[in-house]
């Protein structure tokens, strides 16, 4: 079977239909894939290069691949936009979040990203108003101010030496997330310590994605360090929560909304534990993804000087040396397109995981209950049926006319359906502002030794950082 075989039209007639007679439903075939025990035999190379492995399987088997996982369990990789739509939107309630999210929960607890069912629905409803378009628009000044402060520091610390842009973006976006969501300003030693604790937490999540890693209750040095860091973060966050609960401090931010929220039936507020889980989730989900996308954006601009120049000209004309306010954003469409195209080529969530609750039919193929599913934006975003010249960096793909021509799920860096990223508007605005402000003031070039290797775990980032030099324009 050749690659990219499944056409949207084929898919449309094969949609599972609960009203269909049992005979028709059970006529679905097994999806194509390598012989059983493939994964077991190829565990090491697959773990070393999961993206390369997925690309190879896609080329060989087409838009859906079935792999033996363990025991009676199978893993399916689903690439076609119609399949993605089925899993994330049309039949979303038949899927739970699965393996990776269980590992993420060791750090993020039962927050929005990892929770399921009634708890998730209640918390999503509580948090949604804080992410309303009008509220997010009010954050433009804060974001621009933080990017401006970063540029001033770069100017003060004049250097021709390569520096790690990925690390800088990580600190920038964490600072923005903390200020926007919880009103907390972090500078100097406090910021440094906070970054360190978050890094230990994220390194632990990465470590626990290895199926052979030991659970937290086993007192290995690694686990003890993680539990210590999580405890320190908990103390820090719950102190702020306590000040909000007692009225010693207040704010017009998400934390205040979460602290004030009451259950409609019981009138009870959230426990300290639930509040901590939500706060840490928003910090995790809200900074690493944006930082990864910005780092890849700068690497792409450095490799395409003509695109960088176009962005620089747009930003200089629109901003005239000032920082952007919300009203200026419509005069920075190219900055937004550059960010969207960076998210296409390097989606931070390069693969989204799910587990089937009940048997299903996807694209005409049977998928049994308790199967693991992977929907990989990294692959779908390169599907040649929807993306001509898929590996090329072309921000013009994101003009409104071009976007309207594509099916919705050909592009899903923020997921989709009910579990769509709550911070999509936040992340897009942050990316647009950071690219425009930095491109209008600095020219970033790749350091001669920078090899640009992808590190896919847990989010897709440049391996070992992104080393660049900067020149003031």
Nearest Cα to Cα of residue 197 among 234, 164, 146:
234
If the CB atoms of residues 11 and 426 are measured against ligand HEM, the closer one turns out to be 426
Q: Is the distance from CB of 381 to CB of 55 less than 8 angstroms? A: no
CB of 376 to ligand HEM, least distance (A): 11
Residues 132-191, interacting with ligand HEM (CB under 6 A): 177
195, two tokens: 């970054």
Rounded to whole angstroms, the Cα distance separating 380 from 23 reads: 32
Helix runs in 211-332, H state only: 221-245, 254-260, 272-303, 305-319
Rounded to whole angstroms, the Cα distance separating 201 from 106 reads: 9
The Cα angle at residue 371 between residues 370 and 375, in degrees rounded to 5: 130
Site mask for ligand HEM (CB under 6 A), range 13-52, x = bound: ----------------------------------------
Rounded to whole angstroms, the Cα distance separating 408 from 10 reads: 18
If the CB atoms of residues 173 and 223 are measured against ligand HEM, the closer one turns out to be 173
Does position 395 bind ligand HEM by CB under 6 A?
A: no
If the CB atoms of residues 357 and 473 are measured against ligand HEM, the closer one turns out to be 357
If the CB atoms of residues 288 and 450 are measured against ligand HEM, the closer one turns out to be 288
Task: Decide: helix, strand or coil at residue 45.
Answer: helix
If the CB atoms of residues 58 and 426 are measured against ligand HEM, the closer one turns out to be 426
| Residues constituting the chain | 473
CB of 118 to ligand HEM, least distance (A): 13
Number of amino acids touching ligand HEM (CB under 6 A): 25
Rounded to whole angstroms, the Cα distance separating 297 from 338 reads: 7
Does position 109 bind ligand HEM by CB under 6 A?
A: no
200, two tokens: 């230990």
What kind and span of H or E run contains 471?
A: strand 467-472
If the CB atoms of residues 427 and 462 are measured against ligand HEM, the closer one turns out to be 427
Select the residue interacting with ligand HEM from 349, 393, 398, 411 (CB under 6 A). 349
If the CB atoms of residues 28 and 433 are measured against ligand HEM, the closer one turns out to be 433
If the CB atoms of residues 74 and 182 are measured against ligand HEM, the closer one turns out to be 182
CB of 124 to ligand HEM, least distance (A): 5
Residues 400-419, interacting with ligand HEM (CB under 6 A): 413-415, 419
Rounded to whole angstroms, the Cα distance separating 245 from 271 reads: 11
DSSP characters for 196-229? Answer: HHHHHHHHHHHHHTSTTSPPTTS--HHHHHHHHH
Select the residue interacting with ligand HEM from 16, 201, 363, 427 (CB under 6 A). 427
Nearest Cα to Cα of residue 342 among 178, 460, 232:
460
Select the residue interacting with ligand HEM from 365, 426, 442, 467 (CB under 6 A). 426
Rounded to whole angstroms, the Cα distance separating 366 from 33 reads: 13
- HSE-CB at 303 with a 13 A cutoff on CA atoms is 14
Find how far residue 29's CA is from the centre of its chain.
33
Select the residue interacting with ligand HEM from 255, 352, 446, 468 (CB under 6 A). 352
74, two tokens: 């199978």
Select the residue interacting with ligand HEM from 200, 422, 435, 444 (CB under 6 A). 422
If the CB atoms of residues 34 and 456 are measured against ligand HEM, the closer one turns out to be 456
Burial 330-363 (b: 16+ CB within 10 A, else e): eebbbbbbbbbbbbbbbbbbbbbbbbbeebbbbb
CB of 220 to ligand HEM, least distance (A): 29
CB of 454 to ligand HEM, least distance (A): 15
Site mask for ligand HEM (CB under 6 A), range 182-221, x = bound: ----------------------------------------
Residues 278-317, interacting with ligand HEM (CB under 6 A): 281-282, 285-286, 289-290, 293
CB of 437 to ligand HEM, least distance (A): 17
In the sheet with 64-70, reading across from the earlier edge strand, the strands are: 64-70, 73-78, 372-375, 352-356, 95-96
Rounded to whole angstroms, the Cα distance separating 182 from 165 reads: 25
Select the residue interacting with ligand HEM from 54, 64, 87, 113 (CB under 6 A). 113
Rounded to whole angstroms, the Cα distance separating 227 from 308 reads: 43
Does position 376 bind ligand HEM by CB under 6 A?
A: no
> What is the number of the residue whose Cβ is closest to ligand HEM?
423
Supply the DSSP symbol for 126: H
Which residues are at the interface with ligand HEM (CB under 6 A)? 97, 112-113, 124, 177, 281-282, 285-286, 289-290, 293, 343, 348-349, 352, 413-415, 419, 421-423, 426-427
């Amino acid at each position: 079977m050749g690659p990219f075989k499944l056409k949207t039209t084929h898919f449309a007639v094969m949609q599972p239909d609960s009203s269909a007679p049992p005979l028709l439903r059970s006529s679905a075939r097994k999806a194509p894939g390598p012989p059983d025990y493939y994964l077991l035999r190829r565990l090491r190379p697959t773990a070393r290069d999961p993206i390369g492995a997925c690309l190879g399987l896609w080329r060989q088997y087409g838009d859906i691949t079935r792999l033996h996982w363990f025991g009676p369990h199978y893993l399916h990789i689903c690439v076609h936009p119609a399949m993605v739509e089925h899993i994330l939107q049309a039949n979303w309630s038949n899927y739970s979040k699965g393996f990776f999210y269980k590992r993420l929960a060791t750090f993020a607890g039962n927050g929005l990203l990892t929770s399921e069912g009634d708890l998730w629905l209640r918390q999503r409803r509580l948090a949604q108003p804080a992410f309303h378009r009008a509220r997010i628009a009010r954050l433009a000044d804060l974001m621009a101010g933080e990017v401006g402060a970063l540029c001033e520091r770069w100017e003060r610390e004049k250097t021709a030496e390569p520096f790690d842009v990925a690390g800088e973006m990580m600190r920038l976006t964490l600072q923005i997330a903390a200020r926007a969501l919880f009103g907390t300003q972090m500078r100097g030693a406090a910021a440094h310590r906070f970054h360190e604790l978050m890094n230990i937490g994220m390194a632990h999540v990465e470590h626990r994605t290895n199926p052979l890693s030991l659970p937290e209750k086993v007192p290995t040095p690694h686990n003890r360090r993680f539990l210590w860091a999580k405890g320190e973060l908990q103390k820090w966050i719950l102190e702020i929560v306590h000040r909000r609960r007692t009225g010693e401090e207040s704010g017009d931010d998400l934390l205040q909304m979460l602290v004030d929220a009451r259950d409609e039936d019981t009138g009870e507020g959230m426990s300290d534990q639930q509040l901590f889980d939500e706060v840490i989730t928003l910090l995790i989900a809200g900074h690493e993804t944006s930082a990864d996308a910005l780092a890849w954006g700068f690497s792409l601009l450095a490799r395409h000087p003509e695109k960088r120049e176009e962005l620089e000209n747009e930003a200089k004309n629109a901003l005239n040396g000032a920082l952007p306010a919300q009203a200026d954003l419509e005069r920075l469409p190219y900055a937004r397109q550059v960010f969207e195209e960076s998210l296409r080529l390097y989606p931070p969530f390069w693969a989204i995981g799910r587990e089937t609750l009940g048997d299903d039919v996807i694209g005409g193929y049977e998928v049994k209950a308790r199967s693991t599913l992977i929907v990989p934006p990294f692959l779908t975003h390169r599907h040649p049926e929807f993306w001509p010249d898929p590996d090329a960096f072309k921000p013009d793909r994101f003009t409104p006319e071009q976007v309207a021509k594509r099916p919705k799920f050909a592009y899903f860096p923020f997921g989709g359906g009910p579990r769509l990223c709550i911070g999509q508007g936040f992340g897009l605005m942050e990316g647009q502002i950071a690219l425009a402000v930095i491109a209008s003031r600095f020219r970033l070039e790749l350091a001669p030794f920078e090899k640009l290797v992808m590190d896919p775990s847990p989010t897709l980032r440049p391996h070992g950082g992104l080393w660049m030099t900067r020149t003031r324009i």
